[in-house]
Structures are given as structure tokens and as C-alpha cells.
Amino acid sequence: MAEQLSEYKRIAIVPALNEEETVGRVIGEIRDFDPGFDIVVVDDGSVDRTAGVAADRGAHVLRLPFNLGIGGAMQTGYRFAFEHGYDIAVQIDGDGQHDPSQLPKILEPVLSGEADLCVGSRFTGDGAYRSSFARRVGIKIFARVVSAVVRQKVTDTTSGFRAVNRRAIALFAADYPHDYPEVEATVMCVKHKLRLKEVPVAMRERGGGASSITAVRSVYYMTKVLLAIFVGMFRRYAVPVEEEHR
Amino acid sequence: MTPLPVSIAAAVASFLLLVVVFELIRSRRLRERYALLWLLTGVVLLALSLWRDGLNTIAGWFGVETYPPAILGAVGALFILLVLLHYSTVISRLSDQNTILAQRLALLEQQLREG
């Protein structure tokens, strides 16, 4: 894997909102896995030392002037990856829930050319994942809906542990969903005729900070995402070109 | 009881609202987050127009005996108020963000000139 990886210009995109306690460790762990990974931390309007910690550890830091939400933050990272000509990008949350030692699992299908987007799923195999009842129901509903829309079995639609190739980087740099993007991004990829693969990974409990999805917002979140998926079914999609001009 | 032509006109109007909002989202001229309140408006008005007994009952609760469709107008006005209030919060947020952007730009320009 390491030799194969070294042929590609590769980057880890780390979205972070008030993760000063964990972002340094995440950067260290990505380097431990592969020192050849460039790292860009997208600081989505943190009020703590997130940006400072990341810069001290030698990561590129994109500091957004105010909170754009995870969708806007991720797209900033993808724009950076696109404009700097990266071949491979991985998404790893700055809160420490994604374990960089699991990177080979999501990278393998992308490197072998089997998938354009590979998502690490908490549910399809190893790694017990605990969460509240309401959250599990929501996750099940999304899994059913997305599986039906993309005509492929998907178990973990909200996972932000992902690896993509240049085609998907180009697509996401040009167009990325707002607010809570993972579910829509998955659907969007398939609509654009990119190949999606889901692989089982082990995830950790969140290292610090608080989840961006509180109980109050989850109803709004579900409605909004289901609406976006529904309306999206009536759009036409172009197949993205790797070096398109925007 | 609500006159039938009123119910039909109200149902057609709210259905049109739903269609227009849907098309605006589809053509990406309206973001989902700003469409939700409009869709709720359309659905509630459509339900009240089609469910004529229900409109009567609700009118009864508020002591409106002579002309139940007045409730349709009241509910419509209420939703318009909600949408406007929502927009006021959106405009406030946008203007705050605009201030921050202008300040960051001024600081950047100063760095470029003197750096």
C-alpha cells in the first residue's frame, strides 16, 4: 500500500470546529500512517486554538472567517485539493473519531481503481458502535432511502471517513451539498456516474468537543436531507471532468 | 360552509405554490433550508382548502361562523409573517458576515501593501 500510495499526490482534509484538544493528535496519527500525506485543516470558525495547534503541527490551515457549516468547510478543503492538483484525498474528522490506522481500508478501493468514492462504514463489520435509539432509527431510514436511490447497499450514509480520487475531488470542488453534506454527497456521486464503495471500518468514540447534530436539530436535518434527495432525483447530472474549468 | 369555488381556487393556488417552490429548488435557485417554510405553508394551505369540514371546525373554534374561508386568509397571513421573520434573521446573519468579510479583506490588503 505504501509504495502504491507514494505514486500519488495525496492530501488529508480535516474539518475542525473547536477541536484544539484532538486536532493535534489527529495530525500526528495521519503522519504516523504515512508521512507523505499533506494535511489541510479547515477551521470552520473555531473560537479556540484549533487553527494555532494545527499550524504548529505543520498542517496547512484554512481559516474560515465565520462558520460555514460542515458542507461549506469540506468544500473549501476540496477546492484546495483541486487547485493544488492532488490525485487522492481523504476526509478525516478533527474530533478524533476516525482512526487514521484504518486508512488502508478506505484507500484500497480507490487506489485499485474500483471506486471513485470509498466510504468507511461503522456498521458493516468490525467495531461495535453505540448510539441513541433516535439516532439509530434516523441512520436506518437514511440507509434505506439512499440504498434505494443509488441502487446499491449502503449502511452508513452519515460517515465522514472517506477517500476519493481526482474525479470526485473535481466534482466536490465544483459542487458540494450545504449544511449536513455526507448523505447528499453520496447520492450526488452516484448520480454523476461515479462509483461508490462502502467498506467496514472501526471508529472510536469522539475524542472531545460535542457532536454537531443535537437532538433538536435532527428533525430539521432529516427533513432537509430527504427533501434534497427527493428533489435531486429530478435533476440532470453531468459526468465530471477531472480538470474542468469553473 | 366554505363555498366550493373558494375551496377549489385556494387548493389550486397552494398547489401552484408547491410546484413553483419545487421547481426553484430543482433548478438550484432556492436552497432547501430556505424552502422548508414555504413548503410547509403550501402543504398546510392545501390541506385546509381540501379538508372543508376541518376548515369549518377550526373556524368554529375561533367563533368565525359566517365565513369559514377567512381562516384560510388568516393562516396564510400567519405563514407570511413567519417567512418574513425568518428572512429578517437571515438578513441579520448575512450583514454580520458581510462586515466580517470586509474587515478581513481590509486587513489582507494592508498586509499585501505593507508586507
What CATH number did the domain enclosing A84 receive? Answer: 3.90.550.10
To test the contact with chain B by mutation, choose from A68, A227, A230 the residue with the greatest count of B C-beta atoms within 10 A, namely: A227
Quick: pLDDT tens for A140-180.
899 999 999 999 999 999 899 999 999 999 999 999 998 88
Interface with chain B: mutation pick from A44, A63, A64, A66, highest number of B CBs within 10 Å: A66
pLDDT of residue A87: 97
SS3 content of chain A, % helix, strand, coil (to 5): 45, 15, 45
Rounded CA-CA distance A244/B5 in Å is 54
Residue B100: which of A65, A178, A235 has the nearest Cβ? A65
Closest CA of chain A from B76, distance in Å = 22
Among the partner residues A179, A231, A235, nearest to B33 by beta-carbon distance? A179
Is the Cβ of A9 closer than 8 Å to some Cβ of chain B?
no
B93 touches A at CB < 8 Å: no
Shortest Cα distance from A42 to chain B (angstroms)?
A: 17
- When scoring B23, B24, B32, B86 by the number of chain A Cβ atoms within 10 A, the one with the most, hence best to mutate, is B32
- For residue A39, pLDDT over 90 is answered with yes
Looking up cell 374561508 gives: B69
Q: Give the H or E element holding residue A104.
A: helix A103-111
The pLDDT score that the predictor gives to residue A131 is 64
- Closest CA–CA distance from residue B10 to any residue of chain A (Å): 24
CA distance B102 to chain A (A): 10
Q: What is the percent of chain A with per-residue pLDDT over 70, rounded to a whole number?
A: 89
Give all strands (DSSP E) within chain A, no chain letters. 10-16, 38-43, 60-63, 88-91, 117-121, 162-165, 196-200
pLDDT, residue A205, reads 74
Percent residues over pLDDT 90 in chain A: 75
Q: Which of A65, A228, A235 sits opposite B32 (nearest CB)?
A: A228
Residue ranges per domain, chain B? 4-114
Residue A242: the pLDDT is 67
Residue A239 counted as domain residue: no
* CA A227, A229, A235, A237 torsion-angle sign: positive
Does the residue A73 lie in any domain? yes
Closest CA–CA distance from residue B59 to any residue of chain A (Å): 30
**A-chain residues near B32 (CB < 8 A):** 178-179, 224, 227-228, 231
Q: Contact A227/B39 with Cβ under 8 angstroms? A: yes
pLDDT, position A129 = 56
Question: Which residues of A66-160 form beta strands (DSSP E)?
Answer: 88-91, 117-121
- Comparing A217 with A159, the larger pLDDT belongs to A159
Is A245 among the domain residues?
no
With 60 as the cut, is the pLDDT of residue A38 above it? yes
Are B25 and A227 an interchain contact pair (Cβ–Cβ within 8 Å)? yes
Integer Cα distance of A133 and A217 in angstroms: 16
pLDDT band at A126 (very low <50, low <70, confident <90, very high): very low
pLDDT surpassing 80 at residue A217: no
Amino acid at A70: I
* Contact check, Cβ <8 Å, A231/B100: no
User: B82 and B109 in contact (C-beta within 8 Å)?
Assistant: no
Rounded to two decimals, the pTM is 0.89
Please report, in tens digits, the pLDDT of each residue of chain B (115 residues total): 789 999 999 999 999 999 999 999 999 999 999 999 999 999 999 999 999 999 999 999 999 989 999 999 999 999 999 999 999 999 999 999 999 999 999 999 999 999 7
A122 falls within a domain: yes
Count Cα neighbours of A57 within 13 Å in the Cβ-side half-sphere.
25
Q: What is the pLDDT of residues A57-108, one digit of tens each?
A: 999 999 999 999 999 999 999 999 999 999 999 999 999 999 999 999 999 9
| Structural domain that includes position A162 | 2-232
CA nearest to A221 within chain B = B33
Determine, yes or no, domain membership for A189. Answer: yes
Cα–Cα distance for residue pair A58/A54, rounded to 1 Å: 7
User: What own/partner pairs with CB < 8 Å and gap ≥ 24 does B36-39 have?
Assistant: B36/A220, B36/A223, B36/A224, B36/A227, B37/B79, B37/B82, B37/B83, B37/B86, B38/B83, B39/A227
pLDDT band at A122 (very low <50, low <70, confident <90, very high): confident
Q: Which of A51, A31, A28, A30 is nearest to A41 (CA)?
A: A51
The band of A3, judged by pLDDT with boundaries at 50, 70 and 90, is confident
A187-213, pLDDT tens digit by residue?
Answer: 999 999 999 999 999 988 764 455 556
For residue A244, being part of any structural domain is answered with: no
Calculate the average pLDDT of chain A: 90
Residue A243 has pLDDT above 80, yes or no: no
Question: A-chain residues within 8 Å CB-CB of B39?
Answer: 227
Q: If we measure between CA atoms, which residue out of A29, A34, A31, A32 comes closest to residue A5?
A: A34
Instruction: Kindly list the distances between the CA atom of residue A130 and the CA atoms of A133, A200, A203, A210, B42, in Å, as whole numbers in the listed order.
Output: 9, 15, 11, 16, 39
